[in-house]
Structure 1
């Protein structure tokens, strides 16, 4: 099993209530139940207010490395991630258990 973690930081001056950011969240939320490789899916806004905190997170589980690659390449994932490129940066970690 692999847990895929992505933490997003909104660009300077971008707020979470902007229409493009709301649409970005909705695009990720819509992936739940759509991509067969996803064993679990969670996304949402960070509730911690700290200078070092990221703004938004995705946490999901997939079966193995092949499933992770299929998820990453899935057109719906690519479309959702593409929205975030306009207004955020992110870091990724994949933990194998």
Structure 2
């Protein structure tokens, strides 16, 4: 099983817009329903206001690295990325569990 973990935070130069942010996070949460080979999917919001913390965490599971490689260029994922990059920056880690 391959784990795909991504942390998101609002871009420094972008003004906070809670309505826009909520809509983007909802789209992140719903992506699982658009890609049938995702095995597990969870989007969580940070709950503590600490400088080291990022705003959101995405935890996903795939069968293997090949499935992650299929996910990354998937049209539904790419459409979401196009909108996310106007509001968030992110870092990712992929590992075998």
May I ask how many residue pairs the two structures share in their alignment?
96
Deviations, residues 61-88 of structure 1 (Å, cap 9, x unaligned): 0001110011111111111122110011
**Offset at residue 16 of structure 1 (A):** 5.5
Structure 1 unaligned residues grouped into runs of 5+ = none
Give the alignment's TM-score, normalised by structure 1: 0.88
Listed one character per residue, the Cα deviations across residues 1-57 of structure 1 (whole Å, up to 9, x for unaligned) are 1110000111225325142x2221121111123211210000131112110100011
Superposition RMSD in Å = 1.5
TM-score, reference length from structure 2: 0.88
- Deviating beyond 4 angstroms after TM superposition, the runs of 4 or more aligned structure 1 residues are none
